[in-house]
Homo-oligomer: A and B are copies of this chain.
């Protein structure tokens, strides 16, 4: 049947291209609105290749989530390389990394896990479970950073690190959602700044919110 020449076979590469295409489409239109045909078209392969590598659409969803989480956690793990000297240094680095996701990108910052969680949490138990796991991983990481800070410096008011981490996770996801809907990435940056000050305030007890009126939103910004 194949009239055209088959290109050189790069199964690993083909798989990666499919996963990357799926991630892109999910970020743009969500999972259910992303057709298998569209994924194939963007990846430059045919449906035969798709169903050779993934036995269903759900399965590439799982793969997309996994690759996304792996990439993300690798970025967050950089926070561990910050010095431990000021107890909150690594927490601050963590906030810097999240802020960097916004400032280093022209397109709105979004998350495959957040996208698929929103769509599928109630309708697809399997994918819901996968999303739940990755949200938990993120929270565990934040929780550990907070606990290390607590161990290094007793906070002014005791707090539960896990609860604070879930607070940050929800704020992070919600900020991305709101910012892209409002088409204003500064919402994320400001919310992260406030959250950072909030955490700082738990330890230092000085200020809990940046006192000034925050930076101008309107004009396009360029930061790296």
A residues at B contact (CB < 8 Å): 27-30, 32-33, 108, 110, 114-115, 117-119, 121-123, 128, 131-132, 135-136, 157-160, 163-164, 166-167, 169-175, 177-183, 187, 190-191, 194-195, 198, 201-202, 207-209, 211-214
Known pairs A177-B117, A178-B135; A191 contacts B209 (CB<8 A)? no
A195 to B198, CA, bound (A): 10
**What are 6 A-to-B residue pairs whose CB atoms are below 8 Å?**
A27-B122, A108-B122, A114-B177, A157-B207, A163-B190, A170-B178
A8 to B78, CA, bound (A): 66
Shortest Cβ distance from A128 into B: residue = B181
A56 to B117, CA, bound (A): 27
Residues in chain B near residue A202, CB distance under 8 A? 208-209
Contact between chains at B30 and A194 (CB < 8 Å) = no
Known pairs A118-B118, A214-B163; A174 contacts B181 (CB<8 A)? no
Contact between chains at B177 and A214 (CB < 8 Å) = no
Contact between chains at A122 and B29 (CB < 8 Å) = yes
Give this chain's copy count.
2
Contact between chains at A173 and B177 (CB < 8 Å) = yes
Secondary structure class of chain A's binding surface, majority of residues: helix
Residues in chain B near residue A119, CB distance under 8 A? 29-30, 33, 115, 118-119
Query: Apart from A158-B212, A177-B177, what are 4 other A-B pairs with CB-CB below 8 Å?
Result: A167-B171, A167-B191, A169-B174, A198-B198
Contact between chains at A177 and B33 (CB < 8 Å) = no
